[in-house]
Amino acid sequence: MDEHGFVRVAAASPRVRVAHPEANVPAMIELLRRGESEGADLVVFPELALTGYTCGDLFLDRLLLSSARQALIQLTEEAQAVYTGLFVVGLPLLHQDQLFNVAALVHQGKILGIVPKRYLPNEKEFYEQRWFTPWQDDRHDQLDGMMASGSIPLGQRVWSILPSPEKSSIDRIGLGIEICEDLWTPVPRSTALAWAGANIICNPSASNDITTKGDYRRQLVSSQSARLITGYVYASSGVSESTTDLVFGGHLIIAENGTILAESKRFVRESQLIVADLDIERLTADRIRTRSWSDQKGERLLGPIEQTALAAHRKPNRDIRRAVPAHPFVPDRSDRLGERCDEVYHLQVAGLAQRIETAQPTTLNIGISGGLDSTLALLVAVKTCDQLGIARTKIHGITMPGFGTSHHTRTNAWAIMSHLGVTAEMIDIRPLCLDTFRAIGHRPFGINPTDISLDEFSKQLLDLDDASRHDLVFENVQARLRTMLLMSRGFVVGTGDMSELALGWATYNGDHMSMYNPNVSIPKTLVRFLVEWAADHEFESPAREVLHSIAGTEISPELLPPGKDGAIQRTEDSVGPYELHDFYLYHFLRFGFRPAKIFRLARAARFERPYSAEQIRASLREFFSRFFRSQFKRSCLPDGPKVGSVSLSPRGDWRMPSDASAAAWLAEIDALSMEDLS
C-alpha cells in the first residue's frame, strides 16, 4: 500500500491441467510475474486451483493430495524470485484424517496461514460433501511439518497488515478469506470477517457458468462489498477445467463498497489477470460514518476469529489503477441517465411541494437572472406546480437588471419565463442602488453619487479602468436589494447552489437567503448538467434553444460593470474552475480526504480541460481557504432537500465551527513536493 491508503489487488485465473498440480505451478508463477510487473500487493487465485476444481473422486486419491501439498511448497518457494506481494491459492488438504477444501495465504516464501471452507454445496451439480469436511467455526489448529519455517495456522482468521511508521492515511489493512459457497449463504463468512476487522475479502471460487449466472454473481459480489463496506477480490476457475458436465468461465471481479472496479471477460482460453486499486482510506471513512455498521460488530454469528498482525512496507505513490471521475456529482452517461436525472428533479420537486402545501403561499417568487441556478430553480418550481395542479402563473419570476447585467442574460431571463408560462416582471434596480449608495455614504469606485443622475453615474462606471473595477459594497448592495424586493412580495424560492455555498460566493442575507431552496445541495457541475438534460428531454423549441443558451453562458454574478472591451465579470476568474472545486468538495466532505490525496486524485482525473499540477495546487488552496472562512454563511442556511451523498446543511450533513482554522490543510498543500508536482 502507499501513503494514501491505496492497495493494488489482482484476481487471476490460470489455465490448469486437471489433476496435475506440478504442471499448474508454472502458470501461476507466470501470473505472479505479471502481478509484480503491475505492482500488485495481493493476487488471488481460484478455489482448488493447484489441482483443478473438477477432479471428482480423484480428490480421495493420496497421490493427488500429496502432489497438491508439494505443489504448494514449490509455488511458495519459486514465487519469491518473481513476486514480492501476498497471494492466495486454493488446494485440497488432508489434516487429521479429514479432507478440507482450503486456501493458503503466502508471502515471500512463507505460508502465513490456511483457511478451510466452511459451507460445502451438495446439491444440483455440486457434490463437495462427498469428498470434503466442512470446517467448524470454533476450530483453530496448527499444521506442522509442511514448511521448515514452522507451524502454519489452520482456521478462520483476519490478518491485520500494519503500515510502517512512515506517514500513512490508514492504520491497518484487514485481510480475510472466504471460499466460494461461503459467500452464497444467508450469513456469509465475510460478514464475521468484516466485523473482526477485515476490509479486504478474498474469495477463491469455482463457480460454473450457466445462463444469467454471471449477472447474479456480479450482483452478489457487488452487494456484499457494499453491505460490509469492504473491498472484495473474487477469482473463479476458467475454461480449462473439465467440461465433462460443467463449463467454467473464469469470472474475475474486483469490487469496492458496491462498485465494480474491474471485471474480466468470461470464457477466455488463456490465463487472465485483472488489477485495480482499492482505496482503504475511503472504506474506513464510510465505516466511521455508518454507525449501524459499527453497532453490529459485537453480534457474533459465526464464532471467534483469530487475529494475526503482519508488517507492511509502504510503497511509493504510483499511478492510480481505478477510474477517478472528474465530475463525481454528475450521473454517468449510462442507460439509466434519464432515470437518474428524473430522480434528482423529483427529489427537488418533492421537497418544494411539501413546503408549498404546508406554507400555503399566495405566490412563488423567484429572482430570474438568465443564469444556470435561477433557471434550474424555475424548472423545479414549474414541475412542482404541474404536479400539485397549480397554475404556473402562481410563479412570479422577477428579473432585476443591475449595473453589470448583460443584454444576453436579460434576454434569456425574459424568454425562459415567457416560454414556461409563468408571471414575468422586470425591475431595474439601478435607481434603488444609487439611492442606497447615497443613504449609506458610499462612493462606488471613488465616484460620488450625490447630486448625480443615473445616466451620468452609469457613464462614469463605463469609463472605469479595468484595474479599479473592485468594490464589494457595490456588489452586495445589488444582491441585497434584489432579495429585499423578492421577500417583500412573500414566499421566495431560493436559487443558490452548493458550490457557491462551499466557496462563500454568496452575499450574506442576499442571494444567501430564501424561504426554501431546492438547489441547496446541487453543485454547479450538476446544475449545468440538469439544465442541459432538461433542454434535451423535457422541453420543445423554442424553450429548448433558450435553455441551451443559458447552459452555455459564462458563469457570472453580473454585479460589476463590464470592462472597456465589453468583457463581463467572470466568477471563475475570481474563485477558479468550478469543476475542480466540485471535485475537491466531494472528496473532502464525502470521505474526509486530506489535501495531498485530493491533489493526487485530481491529477488522475480527466477534466474538461487540462490543468497543470500548479493550477490544481493553487485552486486546491483557494478551495480550502474559502471553505473554512465561509462556514458562518452555511451555519444559517434556509431549508432545502438533500439530493446526493453530500450536503452542507447545518442541520444535516455538515456541522463545523465558523472559526475553525484552515492552517493545517493549507500547510499540507504548501508542502507538496516537486515530486508531487512532476
Tally of CB atoms within 10 A around 231: 28
Q: How many helices (H) and strands (E) does the chain have?
A: 22, 18
Pairing state of beta strands 272-279 and 6-13? antiparallel
Q: Please say if 117 is a catalytic residue.
A: yes
- State how far the Cα of 563 lies from the Cα of 469, in Å rounded to an integer: 8
Joined grid coordinates for residue 205:
471460487
C-alpha cell at 316: 511509493
Alpha-carbon Rg of the chain, whole angstroms? Answer: 31
Helix (H, G, I), strand (E, B) or coil at 162: strand
Q: To which H or E segment does residue 437 belong?
A: helix 430-440
User: How far is C-alpha 183 from the chain's CA centre?
Assistant: 25
Alpha helices in 605-645 (DSSP H): 613-629, 631-634
Could you tell me which of 568, 528, 580 has the C-alpha nearest to residue 549? 528
Distances, alpha carbon 527 to alpha carbons 210, 496, 531, 554, 589, in Å? 44, 10, 6, 14, 19
CA-to-CA distance for 108 and 258, rounded, in angstroms?
32
Active site residue 579: no
Count other Cβ atoms within 10 Å, centred on residue 466.
Answer: 11
- Contacts of the segment 56-61: beta carbons below 8 A, 24+ positions apart: 57/130, 57/131, 58/19, 59/92, 59/99, 59/131, 59/132, 60/99, 60/131
- Integer CA distances (angstroms), 154 to 21, 42, 103, 112, 117, in order: 21, 20, 10, 10, 11
CB 242 within 8 A of CB 205: no
Residue 379 gets the label, from left (phi > 0), alpha (psi -120 to 50) or beta, of: alpha
Residue 124 designated active-site: no
Grid coordinates representing 182? 461461503
C-alpha span between 265 and 245 (Å, rounded): 22
Q: Is the separation of the CB atoms in 207 and 213 below 8 Å?
A: yes
User: Could you tell me if 117 and 180 are in contact, meaning their C-beta atoms sit under 8 angstroms apart?
Assistant: yes
Give the Cα separation of 521 and 255 in Å (integer): 28
Q: Identify the DSSP state of 201.
A: E
> Of the residues 128, 178, 180, 385, which is catalytic?
180
Strand order in the sheet with 423-426: 364-367, 395-399, 423-426
> How many CB atoms lie under 10 A from the CB of residue 150?
11
H helix runs in 53-120, sequence order: 62-79
Q: Give, rounded to a whole angstrom, the gap between the first and last alpha carbons of the chain.
A: 21
Phi, psi of 662 (to 5 degrees): -95, 5
Catalytic residue among 3, 47, 178, 281: 47
Of the candidates 378, 329, 335, the residue with the CA atom closest to the CA atom of residue 587: 329
The single residue of 55, 117, 281, 524 carrying the catalytic annotation is 117
Looking at the annotation, which residues are catalytic?
Answer: 47, 117, 180
